[in-house]
Structure 1
Amino acid sequence: MEYTQLGRTGLKVSRLVLGTMNFGPQTDEPTSHAIMDAALDAGVNFFDTANVYGWGEDKGRTEEIIGSWFAQGGGRRDKTVIATKVYGNMGGGDGERWPNHDKLSAVNIRRAVDASLKRLRTDHIDLYQFHHIDRRTPFEEIWQAIDVLIQQGKILYAGSSNFPGYKIAQANEAAARRGMVGLVSEQCLYNLAERRAEMEVIPAAEEYGLGVIPWSPLHGGLLGGVLKKEGRSGRSASGRSADALAVTSVRAQVQAYEDLLDKHGLEPGEAALAWLLTRPGVTGPIVGPRTPEQLESALRAVELELTEEVLTGLDEIFPGPGPSPEAFAW
């Protein structure tokens, strides 16, 4: 496994991030534990989760599964950089009846951290991420709450997720005024088929020294060999992939992508991950395996070196928007 610094920090993290969103809803606890053991054995030390994972009435379940894995001992917690998130409503009902159990107010951040620590069975969170922007809470309040948590030793670093470029700038300028480190990472939707982050989010992250952590690196399975799988099994794609493939131009694009990789003897999912590892500012993509076999496939991407011919071909099939303002102006 290769390692890199998380943004401008001294923290060393693996170039693949283990996403845990499937733990609970789609993957049972024993299998989840087996996947985490296999990831750690392979050198993956960066695990990502969120307080809302488990979803619905099972919100928090994913953190509990990770906590029970930590509790098995064997140095699991000490070897792991654990990242979780705050924003979604964790109350017992809808947002109207639990108005202070979501978003980024100081009261919710304080409550949410303590609840996550309890579920994770740990005394600190390495990377505490804001899952979404909060249009109502000023950054001065957010950073005051984070500063207290850092002083208490409950969190070490703060990161963002799904932030536009201007909010990354606002957040870190507000932190600088308080003499704080500010955001050290941004977790955003970024893959070959969805490159809008290259316009402003990634440049802002690079300017402020944030490590970029792409989520949905296979774009909901679209980049994982979906057409090849259709041909083998006769089963149609589902979810985000099915919606995308319903557009004729997208299907043609994906076909060209799979043909290019087939020509070079490459597996689509592994190539899509390897492409992200070549991108400026990227710390590592999040992979969310449902099975140990899917984890093994993702691990191979770290060792995969794409030739210039392949990289050029991928850019021709999935051209990026280009930097701003040239992407939309002159």
Structure 2
Amino acid sequence: MFDTANVYGREKGKGVTEEIIGRWFATGAGRRERTVLATKVYGKMGDWPNENRLSALNIRRACEESLRRLRTDHIDLYQMHHVDRATPWEEIWEAMSVLRQQGKILYVGSSNFAGWHIAAAQEAARDRHLVGLVSEQSLYNLLSRWVELEVLPAARHYGLGVIPWSPLHGGLLGGVLRKQRDGGTARSTAGWEARELDRHRETLERYEKLAADLGEDPAVLALAWLLHQDGVTGPIIGPRTPDQFTAALRALEITLDDTTRTSLDELFPLPGPNGTKPAPEAYAW
């Protein structure tokens, strides 16, 4: 599975990552046939009205442009990159239905939705006798567990697969402190990552020690933890090298026992004053 978006590649030009995948598909050898292709619509692709968000016009135009860049005739999973508070669900679902009828997309997913957005989308789709959403892509990792309050329960209720993005929280859960001590380079050295590192340094030190005691790489442990979460289909990984990709596959082989999961919960507690409980008990009596 490849996950991208029409806006990815901003520094080198919007749509660049779709073009990279398209060139790879064009080399043949069954690459497209063996790939689950996911991309997104919502982000700003131009300065004119209807060149962003989820109007029927932008959904149609954006899909056509993504298909052209990807050099394919269909997208397996077409995801809404963000909720559009200005466009009614009736318009959104009509546009997506037309694309499905034309064979240009197979399934529709969401990304960065709140739990109640998922519910609103699914109930609007039900009224039209449509499949609705099949997946939600959320920020989810040990350092950011907010989706456990209501997004994951909503996804489980409606049968959506959950695809966590940033499973290593910008690299912080990938052994950043160990890499710094060893003189290696780490992604989390400036800007937002640096501020997050300062904020969580003590916790990350304990986390990396726990990983070392288990004989596992911190990045692999973080991925394995996500795979143990109820409702998670699989995290989206972003390896920079073949070795990093191969190392990540180790997460599929790990079984975390109750003691380890309890230790991780203690290090990275759920949000809310009663974080050990689901919503609404997490923040209410």
TM-score bracket, normalised by the shorter chain, equals: over 0.9
CA-CA distance at 1:282 after TM superposition: 0.3
Structure 1 equivalent of residue 29 of structure 2: 74
Structure 1 equivalent of residue 242 of structure 2: 292
Q: State the distance in 1 between where 2:136 and 2:147 align.
A: 11
Q: 1:234 to 1:59 in 2, by over 3 A?
A: closer
Deviations 1:181-233 (A, max 9, x none): 00000000000110010000111111111000000000001100111111111
Q: State the distance in 1 between where 2:58 and 2:64 align.
A: 10
Q: 1:271 to 1:83 in 2, by over 3 A?
A: same
Structure 2 equivalent of residue 325 of structure 1: 280
1:62 counterpart (17, 21, 24) = 17
CA-CA distance at 1:155 after TM superposition: 0.3
Instruction: Classify the secondary structure of the residue corresponding to 2:107.
Output: strand
1:176 counterpart (103, 123, 126) = 126
Instruction: Classify the secondary structure of the residue corresponding to 2:141.
Output: coil
Structure 1 equivalent of residue 274 of structure 2: none
TM-score, normalised via structure 1 length? 0.82
CA-CA distance at 1:300 after TM superposition: 1.6
Instruction: Classify the secondary structure of the residue corresponding to 2:201.
Output: helix
2:115 counterpart (165, 190, 199) = 165
Equivalent positions of 1:274-285 (< 5 A) are 274-285=224-235
Structure 1 equivalent of residue 40 of structure 2: 85
Q: State the distance in 1 between where 2:246 and 2:29 align.
A: 22
CA-CA distance at 1:56 after TM superposition: 4.5
Give the aligned residue type for 1:83.
A
CA-CA distance at 1:70 after TM superposition: 0.6
Q: State the distance in 1 between where 2:125 and 2:258 align.
A: 40
Q: How many residues align?
A: 278
Gaps of 5+ in 1: 1-45
Deviations 1:255-284 (A, max 9, x none): 111111111111100000000000000000
1:269 counterpart (219, 222, 225) = 219
Structure 2 equivalent of residue 49 of structure 1: 4
Structure 2 equivalent of residue 226 of structure 1: 176
Give the aligned residue type for 1:242.
A
CA-CA distance at 1:234 after TM superposition: 6.9
CA-CA distance at 1:309 after TM superposition: 2.1
2:194 counterpart (238, 242, 251) = 242
For the pair 1:147 / 2:97, whether they are aligned, the reply is: yes
For the pair 1:120 / 2:70, whether they are aligned, the reply is: yes
Give the aligned residue type for 1:189.
L
CA-CA distance at 1:238 after TM superposition: 1.3
CA-CA distance at 1:57 after TM superposition: 5.5
CA-CA distance at 1:302 after TM superposition: 1.2
Deviations 1:106-155 (A, max 9, x none): 00000000000000010000000000010100000000000000000000
Q: State the distance in 2 between where 1:296 and 1:216 align.
A: 18
Give the aligned residue type for 2:282.
A
Structure 1 equivalent of residue 146 of structure 2: 196
Deviations 1:83-109 (A, max 9, x none): 000001112xx4xxx111000000000
CA-CA distance at 1:305 after TM superposition: 2.0
TM-score, normalised via structure 2 length? 0.95
Give the aligned residue type for 1:69.
W
Q: 1:263 to 1:56 in 2, by over 3 A?
A: closer
Q: 1:284 to 1:235 in 2, by over 3 A?
A: closer
Instruction: Classify the secondary structure of the residue corresponding to 1:79.
Output: coil
Q: State the distance in 2 between where 1:308 and 1:216 align.
A: 25
For the pair 1:156 / 2:106, whether they are aligned, the reply is: yes
Q: State the distance in 1 between where 2:138 and 2:93 align.
A: 21
RMSD (Å), alpha carbons: 1.3
Structure 2 equivalent of residue 36 of structure 1: none
Q: State the distance in 2 between where 1:135 and 1:124 align.
A: 27
Q: Sequence identity, in percent?
A: 63
Instruction: Classify the secondary structure of the residue corresponding to 1:58.
Output: coil
Moved more, 258-267 or 230-239: 230-239
